[in-house]
């Protein structure tokens, strides 16, 4: 049974989709654990949500690129007696440029944040959810995980495809224990993501109908995990793109990906 005030752990909570999850879950009566690297933003968000919703928001700053970060974070939760009911694996970013243009440390940190950290956090927190008979896990993947991988941001689509397949397996393994798992797969979303990767000017050339707000992505994502959807793509345009790509021959889909990616990828 879900407690009166569920506790949600949100990674990458300092901006964008992560901050939108914090605001919407707080409005639904959740207490929060907020983690990211930017302490000032986390503290400002925690203060805002406490004043607006009387939310108890615990700030635990961590850099998930550190190998020990997931265990250290979970150890801190245990010491404070905090039991996580909702896990939002949202932390992520893109590495612009081709695969060999970046050093291995850059790629290793990316794989730790996008793959290893969410996997370990789920492994550490799922047993408690199962024991209590209720839990929710949202792994923020991407429409990129459903379409051919483009040149540039080489590991991004691959990492998101992993989150999708992994979430499907977790959903099947845990639904009878009262735990729903969902891979949320947004397309283009208004956030700081493209500012960080240096592609904002290119992204601004895309038509407005291809974009969703972080708030809308999160609203649909919360509804999807509550329904028990193992994978959910917010936005009719994004779902259409995924369907069309599946219908195309692989060679044609890859050619289209190569052509279109030149418009918004730094290679």
| Model pLDDT, residue 252 | 81
The answer to whether the Cα torsion of 147, 183, 229, 24 is positive or negative is negative
How confident is residue 197, by pLDDT bands cut at 50, 70 and 90? very low
Whether 53 contacts 23, CB under 8 Å: no
| Model pLDDT, residue 266 | 59
Whether 200 contacts 5, CB under 8 Å: no
| Model pLDDT, residue 257 | 72
More confident residue, 145 or 262: 145
- State the catalytic residues: 156
The answer to whether the Cα torsion of 6, 11, 17, 20 is positive or negative is positive
| Model pLDDT, residue 244 | 87
Whose tokens are 């990492």? That residue is 159
Q: Domain of 103: which CATH number?
A: 3.40.50.720
Residue-wise pLDDT for 18-72, tens only, equals 999 999 999 999 999 999 999 999 999 999 999 999 999 999 999 999 999 999 9
Q: By CB neighbour count within 10 A (0-12 exposed, 13-18 middle, 19+ buried), where does 240 fall?
A: exposed
Q: Is 99 left (phi over 0), alpha (psi -120 to 50) or beta?
A: alpha
Residue 220 has which token pair? Answer: 């649909």
Question: What's the whole-model pTM score?
Answer: 0.89
Please provide the average confidence, as pLDDT, over all residues in the chain.
90
Q: Is the pLDDT of residue 85 over 80?
A: yes
As for how many domains the chain has, the answer is 1
Domain assignment of residue 54, yes or no = yes
Domain assignment of residue 35, yes or no = yes
Closest CA to 55 of 11, 81, 82, 25: 25
State CA 35 to chain mean position distance: 13
Residue 9 has which token pair? Answer: 């752990």
User: Who's near 5: CB < 8 A, 6+ residues apart?
Assistant: 29, 30, 31, 56
Domain assignment of residue 122, yes or no = yes
Domain assignment of residue 201, yes or no = yes
With residue 87 as reference, give the H or E element that holds it: strand 86-89
Q: By CB neighbour count within 10 A (0-12 exposed, 13-18 middle, 19+ buried), where does 256 fall?
A: middle
Structural domain boundaries, residue 148 = 7-261
How confident is residue 192, by pLDDT bands cut at 50, 70 and 90? low
More confident residue, 157 or 202: 157
Domain assignment of residue 43, yes or no = yes
Residue 108 has which token pair? Answer: 């290793």
Mean pLDDT of 204-222: 81
| Model pLDDT, residue 262 | 64
Task: Mean pLDDT check: name the lowest of 12-26, 138-152, 156-170.
Answer: 138-152
Domain assignment of residue 137, yes or no = yes
Domain assignment of residue 2, yes or no = no
Strands across the sheet containing 231-232: 57-59, 31-35, 7-11, 86-89, 135-140, 179-184, 231-232
Kindly calculate the radius of gyration of the chain based on its CA atoms and give it in whole angstroms: 18
Q: What is the DSSP string of 18-82?
A: HHHHHHHHHHTT-EEEEE-S-HHHHHHHHHHHHHHH---EEE----TTSTTHHHHHHHHHHHTT-
Whether 205 contacts 263, CB under 8 Å: yes
| Model pLDDT, residue 47 | 98
> Cβ atoms within 10 A of the Cβ of 181, count?
28
Domain assignment of residue 1, yes or no = no
């Amino acid at each position: 049974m879900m407690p009166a005030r569920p506790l949600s752990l949100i990674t990458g909570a300092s901006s964008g989709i992560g901050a939108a999850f914090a605001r919407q879950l707080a409005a639904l009566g959740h207490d929060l654990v907020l983690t990211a690297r930017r302490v000032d933003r986390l503290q400002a968000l925690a203060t805002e949500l406490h004043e607006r919703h009387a939310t108890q928001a615990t700030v635990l700053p961590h850099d998930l690129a550190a190998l020990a970060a997931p265990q250290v974070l979970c150890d801190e939760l245990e010491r404070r007696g905090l039991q996580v009911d909702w896990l939002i694996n949202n932390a992520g970013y893109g590495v612009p440029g081709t695969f060999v243009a970046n050093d291995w440390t850059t790629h290793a940190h990316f794989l730790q944040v996008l793959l290893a950290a969410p996997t370990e956090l789920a492994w550490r927190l799922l047993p408690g959810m199962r024991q209590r008979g209720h839990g929710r896990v949202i792994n923020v993947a991407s429409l990129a995980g459903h379409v051919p991988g483009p040149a540039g941001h080489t590991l991004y689509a691959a990492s998101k495809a992993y989150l999708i397949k992994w979430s499907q397996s977790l959903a099947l393994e845990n639904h009878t224990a009262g735990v729903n798992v969902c891979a949320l797969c947004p397309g283009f979303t208004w956030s700081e993501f493209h500012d960080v990767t240096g592609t904002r000017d290119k992204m601004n050339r895309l038509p407005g109908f291809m974009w969703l707000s972080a708030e809308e992505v999160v609203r649909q994502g919360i509804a999807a995990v509550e329904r028990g959807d193992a994978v959910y793509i917010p936005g009719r345009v994004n779902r259409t793109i995924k369907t069309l790509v599946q219908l195309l021959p692989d060679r044609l889909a890859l050619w289209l990906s190569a052509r279109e990616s030149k418009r918004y990828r730094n290679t």
